[in-house]
Structure 1
């Protein structure tokens, strides 16, 4: 029998939430490597149309237990989201406690969302006398405060106090990069507890030739330069400067393709319509097979992050684009880790404002050879440092 892990997370595949998809891929890979994995999660609830899933299933080597959620689902309204959080925490607590008594895990593992779930993980680990590993992909409430949320001071203090307790209880805290590690060090977390383990490409792609059919379907010419943004369009993502650049480049054969959803999407689309920007295309989230074709179509891909967030989060799409051999245009502070990667390893460019982006795109349009060179470097960087096998190997080492 392998090492026994109990994983607690509100979201798990087939739910569409990114932490749920990451948790599923990680658990299945660990199971294939001989670990015994038990997951306590909730019924799919990330969207209002989330499908019902079995209350228990053994899938791809993982034992999955789901607690029921009453009422509407989705994240569009705060009270619906809070209801789902509270139901999972309460029902998940009792289910996980019972299953832990039967399983006797050697590790309890939680992700960072919802905010109280690591409290449950720390309690179960202490009760079972086992190790607690906290996988922290975003640092809250710091991100909310940095993006302008007006939270009651007492709530911020309680949240930070809770974080200090969790950090103290955890045997290991996994973060995505050096910037996030520095933030935890400033909060007093011992360096020995903090493990930097990046994500892998999700999906993990391979460099392939562009699909001319999808260009024709989107009415994009074969010689046009295509720049792709794919992901969430939220408060952490400075997308307005990209629209500004598209406006200034409207007379060049350059297309800006925005794929995804988020709170900024509609206002960006409204602006594009009002300003009659025919060189900008918006697409909703796509099935994976079509997403792969859209990435293959792109000449370069955007990764963006608001200044001030570089030590609190790490844009995970970076790894997908690198796996596909796509050069990255990092629109963020030069201090950000992605910006350092593209500059140091030559797999893309870093810009910080609209003017720099416009100048870069003009250079790219005039010198396509530079794009090819950076494409090769992007794939090489991914294979050497961020491939799924390497990242899973880091987790195996952590839990072994």
Structure 2
């Protein structure tokens, strides 16, 4: 028997690992197909064998596993639910009800977002995407094609399969999830999710009106572009960062034929896109300039945001976070969020050792990331530096308000490659900002232009310490900068303000006659 025949028999006889959608024949016959996750459909079934290996595997073996997974196209194959398979599926989707033939109910346009990170991940990109999708669900039928969370806030979610939450249909795909410490493991993670998303879009019966690709991982615009071209869907490339520029800028990779080829392929996806959305003017300038040379007419600048209802200023004397962590009357200089290579937090720790650093100031690093262990080792037993883990999102108002001064730091070489999303939570909390960034960045221009705090150039520990000393010596200006921060957050960077702008941008791409692709 041929390999194709064997695969056909296996697909027909075994319960599907990922029940997604009704087949067109089933839908035409009027059968109701229900959807559920693979862990419920066949709980005894184990994940593909490469994914059952323990963490800490050496990088040579990870590389071999990656090659095997990418070569064997059977891994990660997604199936549509058939009427036969439906017998083992139970519904995570709200029930459907018959509609009288004489009732004309308009169908909402459908939009699919592609991004590895989504709820319940605590990472900022996942939280922001969840906000956006929930708000868009008022005007669109929203689907999210996502992967496994790196830092889940709960274990109560469908790990592999489909569920509906807050009006958003979530399709969570299988992929590898090796620790970030392994270079080959990280490469395998991003490649395997991109591969899984590609296979999902090739097999799904859904026909989306719009497909929006984010950049976790950065290969996703290539996946989305193929789907959009095949189905005539509108394509939006929504860039939280610009690769391979970021990797080249911080020295993770050297400019070579490989990065040039990757840039050419990504450029082809951006050229095909109906809109390319970036977070700031500095990112737009980079993409319009050579070597990207993207058409300015398709560019849109939409910043990230914060929820000013859930994050509100709390007076320091009444803040339970400060009390719990014994911060007392210290000047708290906080960095909250990811601790990665692009922040250069090692220089900030160096600043605490200079003579200019105030004696009553403490640097509080809240979060996690690839370089946290190195930072802990660097800080040693210094009483000027403390570390705390990520805080629950519902407690961000307390934690962000506990600072007197927030640090937002950018590597000197990544100007125009990204815009830090942590800025907007800080503004919502009504706190002053120390922007450690190039003057050409949106970050530095926002802080200086609206008098939200202080700026200083990256890589200069003495200048950072001097800025902290200046802020610590002027409590009145700290308070004024915080009030201005809250005002601009409400006016420009509040969640409903920005998500409505995103919705309007998507509606611009839809046909004016109300027709849509269907699903």
Distance 1:174 1:384 in 2: 21
Question: What's the counterpart of residue 344 of structure 1?
Answer: 449
Q: Which has the larger radius of gyration?
A: 2
Does the residue aligned with 2:377 lie in a helix, a strand or coil? helix
Per-residue CA distance 1:343-397 (angstroms, 9 max, x = gap): 1101111012333333332232222111111111001111111111110111111
Q: Which consecutive aligned stretches of 4+ in structure 1 deviate over 6 angstroms post-superposition?
A: none
The corresponding residue for 1:365 is 472
Change in Cα spacing, 1:76 to 1:52, as seen in structure 2 (3 Å) is: farther
Corresponding position of 2:180: 75
User: SS at 1:58's partner residue?
Assistant: strand
Task: Give secondary structure in 2 for the equivalent of 1:252.
Answer: coil
1:270 Cα offset (Å)? 1.9
**What is the root-mean-square deviation of aligned Cα atoms in Å?**
2.2
Unaligned segments of structure 2, at least 5 residues: 1-106, 508-519
Give the Å deviation of 1:214.
3.0
| Superposition pairs of residues 4-83 of structure 1, within 5 angstroms | 4-31=110-137, 33-42=138-147, 44-46=148-150, 51=155, 53-54=157-158, 55-69=161-175, 73-83=178-188
Residue 306 to residue 254, structure 1, CA distance change in 2 (3 Å): same
Tell me the distance in 1 between the aligned counterparts of 2:254 and 2:190.
18
| TM-score for the superposition, normalised by structure 1 | 0.91
Matched, 1:119 2:222: yes
In the alignment, the residues of structure 1 paired with residue 427 and residue 153 of structure 2 have an alpha-carbon distance, to the nearest angstrom, of 32
Matches within 5 A, 1:321-336: 321-336=426-441
1:295 equivalent to 2:400? Answer yes
CA contact 1:48–1:72 (8 Å) conserved in 2: no
Gapped regions of structure 1 (runs ≥ 5): none
Listed as ranges, the matches of 1:217-256 within 5 Å are 217-221=324-328, 223-247=329-353, 248=355, 252-256=359-363
Aligned to 2:487: 380
Paired residues in the alignment total 392
Does residue 262 of the first structure (1) align with residue 366 of the second (2)? no
Structure richer in helix, relative to its length: 1
Name the TM-score, length of structure 2 as normaliser.
0.71
After alignment, is 195-204 or 46-55 more displaced?
46-55
- Structure 1 partner of 2:71: none
Equivalent position SS for 1:260? strand
Matched residue, 1:281? 386
Aligned equivalents of 1:28, 1:309: Cα separation in 2: 31
CA distance in 2, matches of 1:322, 1:169: 36
User: Equivalent residue of 1:267, what SS?
Assistant: helix
